[in-house]
Structure 1
């Protein structure tokens, strides 16, 4: 049997009791930490579950997933995933492959960036499509997220912008402003936005203000930028408390 267990959004204390129980009962426990940032300590988690955790690389989960599935045919195998196990397409594909091989799959959900952004007071159901700000590199179009913002704003919806690995909010804002400055019709000038860093941790930071005033704010990764759409009066009141 294959178990996909979410580690939660921040550290080893975010895993559920149900997840810990499955880990203790499993024959093998693996983890992947490349699909999202995780601020936990694997050694502490190993002590919690009483088992060694083997860290997998991208190729182990994607290109060579057959080895993991072959083991799951005969044993109880756990794959620990940062955040929630069904956020990344990689894990959805793994589940489909397991089902094709008639391998039972158990999923244990956990907190992720898609739940913790509610900490801003913005209502989850009012978020539109998510965008990702990628570090510009040759051969990759990193401007797609700007059109996502434009489309969401036209519908009055909020936009969650994920940031590339090792990218703080200042770098993310620089890329955002660079693309905005190339556009004839500005959609972000004077608009108030939200910067979030290390949500659900003791180091959590949330800042609300005009984009021009926040460009010098370099909140550490993992972070996100939120472009609010049309605000309900309760959302507006909550955001004002963030300063």
Structure 2
């Protein structure tokens, strides 16, 4: 019996790879991780396309109850654990993999596109990104995302901010929320590490049919409408001339 960690890509039910779909079709149980991101389709769309019942896996189920659910099923039959993006771009999933291996369960990983690679569409060179960091909803006294950005910029590196979400409650942090956090953190620190004039790149729904990418100052992007989730924010570091040229494309987008 095998536990398959299968990346779904970034948009909808059709982003799964052929190899991933073949694995799902072999599985007797199919779980969809339901807390680190969301697709631009409903669970029912996945079930129709895969021909399988899909079980939503909350954070509590994966982190606390996996032994009685996912791992129990995987010990008895081929089981799929579906992850939006790539399976191993969140440490939670590495933890589940390690627990499965310790339990003697065979594991197979089927990769897919991730936001970590998709940000390359902005024209910023992926290998020039420094530490990726996340901004949580409750961030009034949280400094680590801001400090990560400052350290990256000291080295001329770009910073990708992944933004908090709660699919169960329907809460999603926006590009504007992230910028307001950085402005507050800079004010609290008093070090001028982020200003209204700081160049930013806001992204929404990368990999979907209707992605939005806008580049401009922090104050400009605060006024922009990025629409539905999922959003992320990039604060560029030192720019290569090709990156500068690429960003002009997104600066021409309407700032609304």
Same fold (TM over 0.5): yes
Q: Is the 8 A contact 2:160 2:234 kept in 1?
A: yes
Return 5+ residue gaps in structure 1 as ranges.
none
1:1-243 correspondence runs (5 A): 1-67=2-68, 68-136=70-138, 141-165=141-165, 166-189=172-195, 190-220=197-227, 221-243=229-251
Q: Write the distance in 2 (CA, Å) between the matches of 1:70 and 1:76.
A: 11
| Displacement of 1:9 | 1.2
Is the partner of 2:32 in helix, strand or coil? strand
In structure 2, runs of 5+ residues without a counterpart are: 166-171, 252-256
Number of residue equivalences: 241
CA RMSD of aligned residues (A): 1.5
* Partner Cα distance (1:39, 1:143) in 2: 31
TM-score, scaled relative to structure 2: 0.89
- Using the size of structure 1 for normalisation, the TM-score is 0.94
Larger CA deviation: 182-191 vs 22-31: 182-191
After superposing on structure 2, the runs of 4+ consecutive aligned residues of structure 1 that deviate more than 3 Å are: none
Following superposition, the deviation at residue 36 of structure 1 comes to 1.6
**1:196 Cα shift?**
0.7
Query: 1:60-107 CA distances to partner (integer Å, 9 max, x unpaired)?
Result: 211111122122122101111111111111110111111112211011
